[in-house]
Structure 1
Amino acid sequence: MTAAARALALIDDDRIVADTCELIAGWGENPGGTEAETVRRLVAICERIGARVQLQEIAAGRPNLLASIGPEDGPAVLFLGHSDVVPAGEGWTADPFVPRIADGMIIGRGATDMKGGLAAVLEAMAAVAAVAPGIRLELLCTVDEEDRALGVQTWLAEHGLRRYLACIVAEPTDLEIVIGCRGAANLHVEVLGGSAHAGRPEDGASSIYGAAALVDVVRELHAEAGAGEGDPLLGNPTWNVGTIAGGSGTSMVPRVTELTIDRRTMPGEDPELILAELLAQSREAIASSGAANAQRIEVRGVVDMVMPGFRTTEDDPVVSAAADALRSLDQDVRITGWTAACEGGFVAQASGTPTVILGPGDITGQAHQPDEQVRITDLGVAARAYALIALAIAGGAED
């Protein structure tokens, strides 16, 4: 029996289900909570499979986790995930953090994004270690992925990342092989005007009127970005005004208005240059808007968060290994790109590691929704695919 066959025989679907349910029950809503309980449960699973654990506390109750198995050094395969989930929100038919099983699905917040993926990775790591102890495997599980990516950025600042043989991000892709994704930049823009009594608005300079001109600029930039041919895998850059808040009262000309803007970036784009372009065009638009005292309106901004994109070539060994693994498991092979963003871009940017996203669950149809769920059979396929990819990429297994 080959090493691959022995590894597959060791993977236990019931154990993956149990671990997924255990992690769902660990909560980890972000914002609004901490990941500590989920990480505590992750540590217990890591200890069960014989993995070494390193924790990094980035804030109270918010520890990053690095689990490693195999030799202390040498070439390694990195799995990447996160321990936080989005807030449960409304619309659930039962408690979102009491996992339940129905019709072949595990239901609970984080089932798809991404407690199921984490459980599948750990099951695969244990199986590979049992048949090929000379292979080093690592799981980096970060906090705060769903908000500001503070976990991965803090890890990189303190520890850095070496170049790995491959990085496999266990985010939900419906078992498609994602070889590239757009990045994301959060822009915080402040429009400053001048207050005045609403009975004489011409004495003031309305920051809301300035913000309205800025919103028009964002809409035009979004239309221009979408008019191009676009990347065949990643599509086009996009703009979205996410929040706007301004003014102090109905009878006052508003002095300050703040906006948050989401800009989805293509690999290689510089968010600082994107912000500078937005501010320059907004100042021109405000100056020609006809708003009272437009010359008194100032616009300034900062890049509040950056999640870089990445692109791996289709002929890279990790892509071939993933495709071969899925074929051997009687799965359709779909190689595609993501319009979403993930932390794989940080790994690719920091270390040049070839990166793919591959995981159980549907990012658009199941994640971040009431009654979030993941198909149990897909968890098993994912774990087996991870094991086969690691064995193919790292070698070192004797048949």
Structure 2
Amino acid sequence: MGVAHAAEAEALASLDLDRIIADTCDLIRAGGENPGDTEERSVAALRGIAERTGAAVTLQEVAPGRQNLRAAMGPEGAPTILFLGHSDVVPAGEGWSGAPFEPRVADDRIVGRGSTDMKGGLAAVIAAMAAVSRVVPGIRLELLCTVDEEDRATGVHAALPELDMPDAIACIVAEPTDLDVVVACRGASNLIVDLVGASAHAGRPEEGASAISAASRLVQLVDARHADARAADPDPLLGSASWNVGTITGGSGTSMVPRQCTVTVDRRTMPGEDPEAILAELLDDARADLAASGIAGAERITLTGRVDMAMPGFRTSPEAAVATSAAAAVQRFGAPGRTTGWTAACEGGFIAEHLGVPTIILGPGDVTTQAHQPDEYVPVAHLDIAAKAYVLTVLRLSEQAQVR
């Protein structure tokens, strides 16, 4: 048996699926609902798991009770592979058949909030990092686990200024992809538009300037933009950009012309699109439309906006070493391992932009059918395959970087 094959066999043999299951359950119990709680217990649990395997752990305070975690194995200055994850979960909500944060292992799946998004992925990553470090001590492996990924992405924004990794060669985001290898990902942005008019008695609406009437025209513009995006030639991996009006709030009473209204818009972006430019164009067109609308008091209505949150997309060549290695690894253990795109959003785009490295998403569970819903679950078989695929992917990249 060659040296490479011996290292591979040793690393795979050192993986302990029962331990990965137990770690996943511990992380589920630690909670981390966002919004509504902090990630403090979740980060503490992850820190314990990482330190047990020999990782050097550092914490970064983002807000009280909210800490980013970095776990590292291997020498500084060596070629580095970064894993990316997050410690928060969406609120449990209603409709569960059991307690959402008391994990249940049954029918070859782990049920619990965060099981698939993404406590299972974190447990598989830590196990894989430890397995590789035993046989290739010269590679540097890091996990960056951020807070607040599910809401405002404050964690990754705090992490980037301190993420100086000139030796990084790849990033693997451990979000749930049904074990497919995602090489392209849409971004997400929240656009907030404030409309301010003039109040008047409802019996004399022409004396006022209705912010809600103006907002109704803005909604039509957004819907038209979404239709245009859907009608355009779709990207083969990502489909098209999308627009959605999420909330409309305004007015203070039925008998009053509403002076103020706020509209929030979810805009899913294609890699390279700029949310600030998208918002500026929307505001320009909305102002022009309002001026020509004939709405009473239109000239007194102002529109201003801001980008409340922006998460960039990314695109990696399907022929990049991290992508081909990951696909081959997943397929070796019986999963399709399709190379595909993702219409959800994740923080991988921040890393791709900041470090300039090939980035993929690969993780256990399915974001479409298993995450963000009652009785969320991750298949145990996915944890097994994900951990093994992470090991083989890192070993292949280590070989190419001539690291032992």
- Distance (whole Å) between structure 2 residues aligned to residue 227 and residue 75 of structure 1: 44
| Unmatched runs of 5 consecutive residues or more in structure 2 | none
* 2:256 is aligned with 1:252: yes
* 2:175 is aligned with 1:186: no
Counterpart selection for 2:344 from 340, 343, 356:
340
SS at match of 2:227: helix
* 2:51 is aligned with 1:41: no
Partners of 1:51 and 1:67 within 8 A in 2: yes
Q: In the TM superposition, what is the alpha-carbon distance from 1:326 to its structure 2 partner?
A: 1.6
Q: In the TM superposition, what is the alpha-carbon distance from 1:241 to its structure 2 partner?
A: 0.7
- Distance (whole Å) between structure 2 residues aligned to residue 272 and residue 397 of structure 1: 42
Q: Which residue of 2 aligns with 1:168?
A: 172
1:45-56 matches, cutoff 5 A = 45-56=49-60
Q: Which residue of 2 aligns with 1:12?
A: 16
Q: Which residue of 2 aligns with 1:374?
A: 378
Q: Which residue of 2 aligns with 1:206?
A: 210
Q: Which residue of 1 aligns with 2:130?
A: 126
Q: In the TM superposition, what is the alpha-carbon distance from 1:160 to its structure 2 partner?
A: 4.5
* 2:328 is aligned with 1:319: no
Q: 1:191 to 1:161 in 2, by over 3 A?
A: farther
| Unmatched runs of 5 consecutive residues or more in structure 1 | none
Q: Which residue of 1 aligns with 2:363?
A: 359
- Distance (whole Å) between structure 1 residues aligned to residue 154 and residue 28 of structure 2: 22
Partners of 1:128 and 1:391 within 8 A in 2: yes
Partners of 2:78 and 2:167 within 8 A in 1: no
* 2:141 is aligned with 1:137: yes
Q: In the TM superposition, what is the alpha-carbon distance from 1:161 to its structure 2 partner?
A: 4.6
Partners of 2:77 and 2:167 within 8 A in 1: no
SS at match of 2:168: coil
- Distance (whole Å) between structure 1 residues aligned to residue 276 and residue 337 of structure 2: 37
Q: Which residue of 1 aligns with 2:153?
A: 149
C-alpha offsets along residues 162-185 of structure 1, whole Å, 9 cap, x if unaligned? Answer: 451110000000000000101111
Partners of 1:80 and 1:141 within 8 A in 2: yes
- Distance (whole Å) between structure 2 residues aligned to residue 182 and residue 246 of structure 1: 31
* 2:335 is aligned with 1:331: yes
Q: Which residue of 1 aligns with 2:239?
A: 235
C-alpha offsets along residues 230-289 of structure 1, whole Å, 9 cap, x if unaligned? Answer: 110011110011111001111111111011111111111111110011101111222233
Counterpart selection for 1:226 from 225, 230, 239:
230
C-alpha offsets along residues 55-112 of structure 1, whole Å, 9 cap, x if unaligned? Answer: 0010000000000001122111000000000000111111100001111110000000
Counterpart selection for 1:304 from 305, 308, 318:
308
- Distance (whole Å) between structure 2 residues aligned to residue 72 and residue 284 of structure 1: 56
Q: 1:92 to 1:31 in 2, by over 3 A?
A: same
C-alpha offsets along residues 180-233 of structure 1, whole Å, 9 cap, x if unaligned? Answer: 101111111101110111121111000000100000000000001111111100
Partners of 2:84 and 2:171 within 8 A in 1: yes
* 2:220 is aligned with 1:216: yes
1:85-124 matches, cutoff 5 A = 85-124=89-128
Q: In the TM superposition, what is the alpha-carbon distance from 1:331 to its structure 2 partner?
A: 2.4
Counterpart selection for 2:389 from 379, 382, 385:
385
- Distance (whole Å) between structure 1 residues aligned to residue 85 and residue 54 of structure 2: 19
SS at match of 1:167: strand
Partners of 1:161 and 1:350 within 8 A in 2: no
- Distance (whole Å) between structure 1 residues aligned to residue 90 and residue 293 of structure 2: 39
- Distance (whole Å) between structure 1 residues aligned to residue 337 and residue 87 of structure 2: 28
Q: Which residue of 1 aligns with 2:28?
A: 24
Partners of 1:391 and 1:397 within 8 A in 2: no
- Distance (whole Å) between structure 1 residues aligned to residue 72 and residue 165 of structure 2: 14
Q: Which residue of 2 aligns with 1:195?
A: 199
Q: In the TM superposition, what is the alpha-carbon distance from 1:394 to its structure 2 partner?
A: 1.9
SS at match of 1:165: strand
Partners of 1:165 and 1:394 within 8 A in 2: no
Q: 1:197 to 1:163 in 2, by over 3 A?
A: farther
CA-based RMSD of the aligned residues comes to: 1.1
- Distance (whole Å) between structure 1 residues aligned to residue 124 and residue 25 of structure 2: 12
Q: 1:162 to 1:243 in 2, by over 3 A?
A: farther
Counterpart selection for 1:263 from 245, 261, 267:
267
Q: In the TM superposition, what is the alpha-carbon distance from 1:397 to its structure 2 partner?
A: 6.3
Partners of 2:35 and 2:90 within 8 A in 1: yes
Q: How many residues end up aligned between the 2 structures?
A: 398
Counterpart selection for 1:291 from 276, 292, 295:
295
* Letter aligned with residue 339 of structure 1: T
Partners of 1:11 and 1:127 within 8 A in 2: yes
SS at match of 2:193: strand
- Distance (whole Å) between structure 1 residues aligned to residue 301 and residue 48 of structure 2: 56
